[in-house]
Amino acid sequence: MTENEGVVRPRPAATVMLMRPMPAVAGASEERPMEVLLMRRVPSMGFAPGAYVFPGGRVDERDADGDLPWTGPAPEEWSRTLGVDVPMARALVCAAVRETFEETGVLLASEPEHASDTAITLDTDTEDWERDRLGLIDRSRSFTEVLSRRGLVLRSEWLRAWSRWITPAREPRRYDTWFFTAELPPGQQPRDVGGEADHTQWVDPAVVAPEWYAGRMPMLPPTVIVCAELADHRTLEGVRDAQRDIVPLEPEVREMDGHLRVVAPDGRDFPLPKPTTTY
């Protein structure tokens, strides 16, 4: 038997850490810490039921469509940043934006004439937008079709690559997931609309690890780790200035003191979640 025989090939996926400044407090300094959006997956989900996750999901073959209206760094530049070929880079960026819209109603897009204006407000909380969102979910509509018909462009400059995590080789369901950060566009608010989550909340990333260790916020190890990384930078400006090297990170599953634990590349180890929720 060869080393890789029986190992499931991971599926490419993208996830977005939506961020915003914490609400202003009277008398506090203007530099406000930021918070990140987490969603709790419904118990019936086949992967990570009940876990807190960022919005995101698998790449769809139509995400690589070269006709997708686009501004910001070109797919060729994203290819170098993400370490993949150009079609996959385009697909990952599209999947990140599409999945975020499907699961939260937040759309990282604008009209072309406002492509340099970060203050533009886009109202996606309407019946016609909801029809488009549902059409994306059931795949009766493509993201290219939705944006083109509305005269909008995907704002790739609103995304920033953060990290890449691969499910351990021993797992039967595996993903190769690129993590992006994005600031909540002005005037937009996330909604509980995706059907895959039963609760959505803004969280201070600094409290995620303590809540996870206390058993109050079940989640996969990469989610805990990237929240801790965000907390290290504290503010939106700090996250913008962070220098990131996107390399594949694949945790190992080891037996330690008679228990299986997930060991991250930096040496940190975590209890192995239940079989249906392993990363």
* Arithmetic mean of pLDDT over the chain: 86
Q: Does residue 278 or residue 173 have the better pLDDT? A: 173
Residue 141 CA to residue 113 CA, distance in Å, equals 25
Q: Is the pLDDT of residue 253 over 90?
A: no
Q: Is the pLDDT of residue 272 over 70?
A: no
Tell me the per-residue pLDDT of 74-113, one tens digit each, with 9 for 90 and over.
Answer: 999 999 999 999 999 999 999 999 999 999 999 999 988 7
pTM beyond 0.85: the answer is yes
Structure tokens at 76: 């060729």
Distance of CA 1 to the CA centre of its chain: 36
Q: Does residue 41 or residue 228 have the better pLDDT? A: 228
Tell me the per-residue pLDDT of 156-190, one tens digit each, with 9 for 90 and over.
Answer: 999 999 999 998 887 888 899 999 999 999 889 99
Q: Please tell me the least confidently modeled range out of 3-17, 79-93, 217-231, 253-267.
A: 253-267
Helices 75-82 and 86-104 pack at an angle, to 10 degrees, of 90
Contact 62, 142 (CB under 8 A): yes
Question: Residue 26: what pLDDT?
Answer: 53
Domains and CATH numbers, the chain: 11-23+32-277 (3.90.79.10)
3-state secondary structure of 106: coil
Tell me the per-residue pLDDT of 234-245, one tens digit each, with 9 for 90 and over.
Answer: 999 999 999 999
Question: Residue 276: what pLDDT?
Answer: 38
The label of the residue with tokens 């079989």 reads 275
